[in-house]
Amino acid sequence: MRLSQFHLATVKEVPADAEVASHKLMLRAGMIRKLASGLYTWTPLGLRVLRKVEGVVREEMVRAGAVEMLMPSVQPRELWEETGRWEKFGGQLLKIKDRKEQEFCYGPTHEEVITDFARNELKSYKQLPLNFFQIQTKFRDEIRPRFGVMRAREFLMKDAYSFHVTPESLGETYKVMYDAYSRIFTRLGLEFRAVDADTGAIGGSASHEFQVIADSGEDAIAFSDASPYAANIEKAEALAPTTERPAPGAALTRVDTPTQRTIEEVTAHLGVSAAQTVKTILVRGAEGLVALCVRGDHEVNEVKAAHLAELPDESELATEEEILAATGTRPGFIGPVGLPEGIPVIVDRSAAVLADFVCGGNQDGTHYTGANWERDARVTRVADIRKVVEGDPSPDGQGTIRFARGIEVGHIFQLGQKYAEAMGAGVLDEQGKMRTMYMGCYGIGVSRIVAAAIEQRHDDNGMIWTDSMAPWRVAVCVINPKNDPVVTEAAESLYRDLADRGVETVLDDRGLRPGPMFADMELIGIPHRVVVSGRGLEGGTFEYRARTDAEARNVSRDELFALLG
């Protein structure tokens, strides 16, 4: 690629709302441009990086035996009614109508669509196990989109869904995916940890998040300094060893029962203004009541979202630290699940719960649906919630607990039969008996990875790409191309030779002065820079500098090719 024919548009100033390094640098480098809140255009430069990530993800998925397909992003309401998620998914679900007034959503995830596909396509145990994946645009109407593509509303996800006759088979594929994810993030040069994540109300036996370690991360993770133990804070803390499960068949009360209270009633009960209610609810735990309904920017449900939108100032919400200080525990999530009968519950329509018990579940409430919620709901006595602090002994008895911040770039989940049961997806087994399939789901935030990588690898001058993610591996910078035909010809010939060797190279033939040209190449993070100048050519050398080198050095053509492989 010749930069003179490319659209490279670096800028000096970025908007004040760009808080984190990756967002600032992506804007400065001209990788993304904001269209509207949470909606970004990937420029030609940004897209090159995005495609690199996509490529690594695709290669490793295929290598792990998954098969690629592509599902529509627009999904009919009827499918979501089958799992109950049309209502339960909450405000993140963007609902749309066509000209015939038929309702659809823009897919935030694809369990319903793939389960529908599977129930139509798969007939026999002989076809299983199968693992389908796609790399596709998702839309989630995030309550507070921020950090650029890190928490966008429209974003690129790789999502995979596996189908099995037995839970053992699911466990095997889960392990294969775990390993594939580890390879993907390693190839992308990311410092990451796979952390144990809570399966919450969904039941199932395992879930792991892949967290890129970064101070700007929205998630807290706890890990042992002497063993592989690592868990996200919700798992480590809220549902620690004291978790109780109601006895099978125990009566649980849904929140849409007479115990439900309007926000006005809660407000009156607490004697606070409506604007203060959420905050008060959140910090009330110090007095024995607790309701942890808002965690960071996590979506709760539509009513809550509407309620939050009415608040005059969102900053009135308790911060995670405030909640921690007031309740001695971290904000988790309480979704619209049931509590054992007889437990005093005050519930506002926005799913805030004041109770002596909390229920564990997925923060986005996506897993409170289907047939199994009564069976899988777990309740924990607030008094039993154990606060995990740094220095605690690790639960596996090895080493002590340390904390780190993380960016969730991947999430794998053993779904069990939740969706297959709700949607009637089964295959015939060896005896000719219909068996509900077991499912796993495996997500990777392809676009989020780009931002996460920048968070980990940048300096004052810009981004620092690994070869695996760089828009180009090598930049050939031409000094004074317009007036020096010898230099131009030498640069062109070097560029051609590198291309012949399969080295992805960009030729900076824009005719910029060395200062601004080098600044651009550093900003966009090209791993290897080669300068072709008249002076260098006289000495038979090129000037080479790796993005991470302190100094440039002169190298011969052969040395250069050896360096660049």
Return the one option of Mg ion, ligand ATP, none that residue 58 interacts with (CB less than 5 to 8 A, by type).
none
d(CA 533, CA 486): 9
| DSSP state string for 46-112 | HHHHHHHHHHHHHHHHHHTT-EE----SEEEHHHHHHHTHHHHT-TTSEEEE-TT--EEEE-S--HH
| Pick 157 or 404: Cβ nearer ligand ATP | 157
Return the one option of Mg ion, ligand ATP, none that residue 142 interacts with (CB less than 5 to 8 A, by type).
ligand ATP
Degrees (nearest 5) of the Cα angle 496, 499, 503?
Answer: 140
Q: Which stretch binds ligand ATP (CB under 6 A): 15-23, 408-416, 504-512, 522-530?
A: 408-416
409 in contact with ligand ATP (CB under 6 A): yes
DSSP 8-state code for residue 318: P
| DSSP state string for 504-533 | -EEEE-S---HHHHHHHHHHTT-SEEEEE-
Return the one option of ligand ATP, Mg ion, none that residue 281 interacts with (CB less than 5 to 8 A, by type).
none
Contacts with ligand ATP by CB under 6 A: the residue count is 16
Q: Which residues in 171-205 are b (16+ Cβ under 10 Å) and which e?
A: bebbebbbebbeebbebbebebbbbbbbbbbbbbe
Return the residue nearest ligand ATP (CB atom).
445
| Pick 416 or 443: Cβ nearer ligand ATP | 443
110 in contact with ligand ATP (CB under 6 A): no
Amino acid, res. 545? R
Question: Which of 201, 210, 143 has the alpha carbon at shortest distance from 181?
Answer: 210
In the list 138, 193, 411, 418, the residue contacting Mg ion (rule: CB under 5 A) is 411
CB of residue 556 to ligand ATP, shortest distance in Å: 45
Q: Which stretch binds Mg ion (CB under 5 A): 28-36, 289-297, 403-411, 493-501?
A: 403-411
CB atoms within 10 A of CB 463: 27
Q: Are 92 and 151 in contact (CB under 8 A)?
A: no
Return the residue nearest Mg ion (CB atom).
411
CB of residue 209 to Mg ion, shortest distance in Å: 6
Q: Which residues in 411-434 are b (16+ Cβ under 10 Å) and which e?
A: bbbbbbbbbbbbbebbbeeeeeee
Question: Which of 72, 156, 109, 155 has the alpha carbon at shortest distance from 441?
Answer: 109
CB of residue 495 to ligand ATP, shortest distance in Å: 36
| Pick 82 or 408: Cβ nearer Mg ion | 408
410 in contact with ligand ATP (CB under 6 A): yes
Return the one option of ligand ATP, Mg ion, none that residue 155 interacts with (CB less than 5 to 8 A, by type).
ligand ATP
Detail the DSSP E strand segments found in 422-518.
426-428, 434-436, 438-445, 458-459, 462-463, 474-478, 505-508
378 in contact with Mg ion (CB under 5 A): no
DSSP 8-state code for residue 168: H
Tell me the pairing of strands 252-253 and 192-196: unpaired
Q: Which stretch binds ligand ATP (CB under 6 A): 68-76, 318-326, 441-449, 460-468?
A: 441-449
CB of residue 465 to ligand ATP, shortest distance in Å: 19
| Pick 122 or 407: Cβ nearer ligand ATP | 407
Question: Strand, helix or coil at 479?
Answer: coil
Question: Which of 508, 516, 521 has the alpha carbon at shortest distance from 2?
Answer: 508
140 in contact with ligand ATP (CB under 6 A): yes
In the list 142, 234, 348, 421, the residue contacting ligand ATP (rule: CB under 6 A) is 142
Any idea which residue has 């970004």 for tokens?
Answer: 40
Within positions 113 to 172, which residues make up the interface with Mg ion, using CB under 5 A? none
| Pick 153 or 435: Cβ nearer ligand ATP | 153
In a 13 Å sphere around the CA of 278, the CA atoms on its Cβ side amount to 27
Within positions 456 to 485, which residues make up the interface with ligand ATP, using CB under 6 A? none
R_g (Cα) of the chain, nearest Å: 27
| Pick 90 or 410: Cβ nearer ligand ATP | 410
**In which element (H, E) is residue 306 found?**
helix 302-310
Residue 129 preceded by cis peptide, ω within 30 = yes
In the list 349, 448, 528, 547, the residue contacting ligand ATP (rule: CB under 6 A) is 448
Q: Which stretch binds ligand ATP (CB under 6 A): 13-21, 149-157, 352-360, 470-478?
A: 149-157
Tokens of 108: 């935030």
CB of residue 362 to Mg ion, shortest distance in Å: 8
Within positions 357 to 376, which residues make up the interface with Mg ion, using CB under 5 A? 364
CB of residue 524 to Mg ion, shortest distance in Å: 30
157 in contact with ligand ATP (CB under 6 A): yes
| Pick 182 or 276: Cβ nearer ligand ATP | 182
d(CA 60, CA 422): 31
Site string for ligand ATP, 506-545 (x = CB under 6 A): ----------------------------------------
Tokens of 287: 């007095």
376 in contact with ligand ATP (CB under 6 A): no
Within positions 309 to 368, which residues make up the interface with ligand ATP, using CB under 6 A? 364
Contacts with Mg ion by CB under 5 A: the residue count is 3
Return the one option of ligand ATP, Mg ion, none that residue 533 interacts with (CB less than 5 to 8 A, by type).
none
Amino acid, res. 51? R
In the list 445, 462, 525, 527, the residue contacting ligand ATP (rule: CB under 6 A) is 445
158 in contact with ligand ATP (CB under 6 A): no
| Pick 217 or 285: Cβ nearer Mg ion | 217
In the list 408, 455, 509, 543, the residue contacting ligand ATP (rule: CB under 6 A) is 408
In the list 411, 435, 458, 473, the residue contacting ligand ATP (rule: CB under 6 A) is 411
Question: Quick one: angle between helices 274-283 and 320-327, nearest 10?
Answer: 60
Question: Which of 311, 320, 322, 324 has the alpha carbon at shortest distance from 272?
Answer: 311
Name the residues that contact Mg ion, by CB under 5 A: 364, 408, 411
Name the residues that contact ligand ATP, by CB under 6 A: 109, 140, 142, 151-152, 155, 157, 364, 408-411, 443, 445, 447-448
